[in-house]
Chain A
Amino acid sequence: MSRSVLFLVAGCLGLAACASDPEPTAQMSAAELAVGQLADTSAPTYALEDTHLARRKLEDAHRAVEQAENVRARRLAEQALVDAQLAQARTDAALAKKNLTELQASNDALRREAASSSPTR
């Protein structure tokens, strides 16, 4: 008797938990957008691992939504978002550093050239 009541209570709590975790629509679309934007960038070149991670988590989030595992779906979507943003940030940093190095080399070459053609004083 008391055991079955306990199960009932636990069951209700479980249902309540399910009902109070709606489908993470906002998180899904934010992750979708961020992961989608990576396709147009050099992220696959400069942050391959994080790009893969974000894509895989977004796919897993979709599957979790289909299976009504809304908590898992929300976590996966939230993680896919930050993974995608990190991939973007890493890419931006890598590109900026690459440009910096190239510009430094180019300036050095220009300086040498200018020095060799400058009037002797």
Chain B
Amino acid sequence: MMMGRPIVHAAGLVALGAALAACAATPPAVERARSSVSAMHQDPLVTQHAPVAAARADEALARVDAAAQGAANEAELNHLAYLVDRRVQIAEEQAAASDAQARIDTLASDRDQILLDAERWQAARAEARADSALAAARAARDRNAALSAQLADLQGKQTERGLVLTLGDILFEVDGAALQPGGQEQVRRIAEAVKAGGNDRILVEGHTDNRGTEAYNRDLSQRRAAAVRDALVQDGVAPDLITVRGRGEDYPVATNDTAAGRQQNRRVELVIGAPTA
């Protein structure tokens, strides 16, 4: 729009020249101060963490600008620009320190959380251990209860002869005298009871069914009774308290006509508190 008017055009050139001259006249120190402050304001950390220090840098720059407007010499401008430069650096360092501190605060709460979790895990583990200990204790108690029940079963028969405990056929090896592990366990329980109960005399009687020869049956019943005696002695019962008898097939407690009856007849009885041998 001004192109068609040479005089105005020339005036424009003059104004431009003056502006350029003004620019050229701005001391480099002042330029540097301005750009470093404006760069500082671009830094979000400074804005967030060091607003006071940033304001001090602004004040330092205002002194530079005021000095540049006045007739300050170059030495003073350089000095004031130095102050600006240092104020900007102070703001940046303070921002870095505050930023690190903010991260430290976050890490400290992370740390609390880690420790809290670890404690919870430890508590959970302790609880699991306590649970398994409790389970083991319960199992032991149940086992004892089962053994007591077995013993109670054996103790079931109070007779005129004394307390009669019966070890069934299945507690011995088939057609032999050796005690099975279950039988050994029952004998052990009985031995404990006898020792705890005042060392009554024990009559151990072996019995069989009527299958096979009488001599064989008598011998088998004798060997089974002896096996029980040996087990009692091994379990700490004094040998002279024990008397052994092989009764053979003479004292059945059930019919020999059925398999179940015969099995009941194959047995060893312990008569505890028997008056005489």
A residues sitting closer than 8 Å to B (CB atoms) are 75, 78-79, 82-83, 85-86, 89-90, 92-93, 95-97, 99-100, 103-104, 106-107, 110-111, 113-114, 117-119
Contact = CB atoms under 8 A, between A and B. Distances in A.
A100 B90 CA distance: 20
B79 A85 contact: no
A96 B101 contact: yes
A82 B114 contact: no
Contacts of B188: none
B111 A110 contact: yes
10 contacts: A82-B86, A82-B90, A89-B53, A93-B96, A93-B97, A107-B110, A107-B114, A110-B114, A113-B118, A114-B118
Interface string B63-96: 0000000000001100100110011011001101
Q: List the 8 closest pairs (A to B, CB-CB), nearest first.
A: A96-B100, A89-B93, A82-B86, A93-B97, A92-B97, A114-B118, A93-B96, A75-B79
A78 to B, nearest CB: 6
Contacts of A103: 104, 107-108, 111
Contacts of A99: 100, 104
Main secondary structure of the interface of B (DSSP, over half): helix
B93 A78 contact: no
Nearest to A100: B100
Contacts of A82: 82-83, 86-87, 90
Contacts, number: 81
B121 A114 contact: yes
B63 to A, nearest CB: 10
Contacts of B111: 103, 106-107, 110
A92 B93 contact: yes
Given A79-B82, A104-B107, A90 B93 contact: yes
Contacts of B121: 114, 117-119
A111 B107 contact: no
Given A75-B75, A103-B111, A117-B122, 12 more contacts: A75-B76, A75-B79, A79-B82, A85-B90, A89-B89, A92-B94, A95-B97, A99-B100, A100-B103, A100-B104, A111-B114, A113-B118
A114 B114 contact: yes
Interface string B118-133: 1001101100100000
Contacts of B93: 86, 89-90, 92-93
Q: Which of A89, A95, A111, A117 has the most CB of B within 10 A?
A: A89
A100 B60 CA distance: 32
B115 interface: yes
B185 interface: no
A117 B124 CA distance: 11
Given A82-B87, A82-B90, A85-B90, A96 B118 contact: no
B31 interface: no
Given A86-B93, A90-B93, A97-B100, A107 B107 contact: yes
B117 interface: yes
Contacts of B114: 107, 110-111, 114
Nearest to A90: B93
A114 B117 contact: yes
B79 A78 contact: yes
Contacts of B87: 82
A119 B125 contact: yes
B45 to A, nearest CB: 11
A110 B115 contact: yes
A84 to B, nearest CB: 10
